[in-house]
Amino acid sequence: MNSLVYEKAYKFAIRIVNAYKYLTQEKKEFILSKQLIRSGTSIGANIAEANGAISPAEFSAKISIAYKECLETKYWLSLLKDTGYIDDKAFNSIYENAEEISKILFSILKKTRISDN
């Protein structure tokens, strides 16, 4: 069930790393981009930890963290766009990926929470 979201999150993390390189090298932006790389790469890391969970509760907790990191990443992307560091085209493309991942994670989270009750 999680291999699809893991693959998407991994590819997303690569995009985030490339965005970070662009922001720091070309735009000389170091504060917001550091927040972006931290949250954007954390999504996949938490999914990887969830895949190694030893209990359903641990799995659900890690997926929940990944979901929250995805929401945070969307915040930083919006802030970078609205402050002129990334253009609308780049924003829309990467934000769409984040939105897709967050929907998948939320769906997984709902299923795990339902089965916990």
What 3-state DSSP class applies to 36?
helix
71-112 pLDDT, tens per residue?
A: 999 999 999 999 999 999 999 999 999 999 999 999 999 998
Q: What does the alpha-carbon distance between residue 4 and residue 22 come to, in Å, rounded to a whole number?
A: 27
Q: What does the alpha-carbon distance between residue 105 and residue 2 come to, in Å, rounded to a whole number?
A: 9
Tally of structural domains, the chain:
1
Q: Please report the pLDDT score of residue 115 as a whole number.
A: 63
34-80 pLDDT, tens per residue?
A: 999 999 999 999 999 999 999 999 999 999 999 999 999 999 999 99
Confidence class for position 116, pLDDT limits 50, 70, 90: low
Any idea which residue has 């493309």 for tokens?
93
60-71 pLDDT, tens per residue?
A: 999 999 999 999
Any idea which residue has 């963290």 for tokens?
65
Q: What does the alpha-carbon distance between residue 92 and residue 77 come to, in Å, rounded to a whole number?
A: 9
Structural domain for 15, as ranges: 3-116
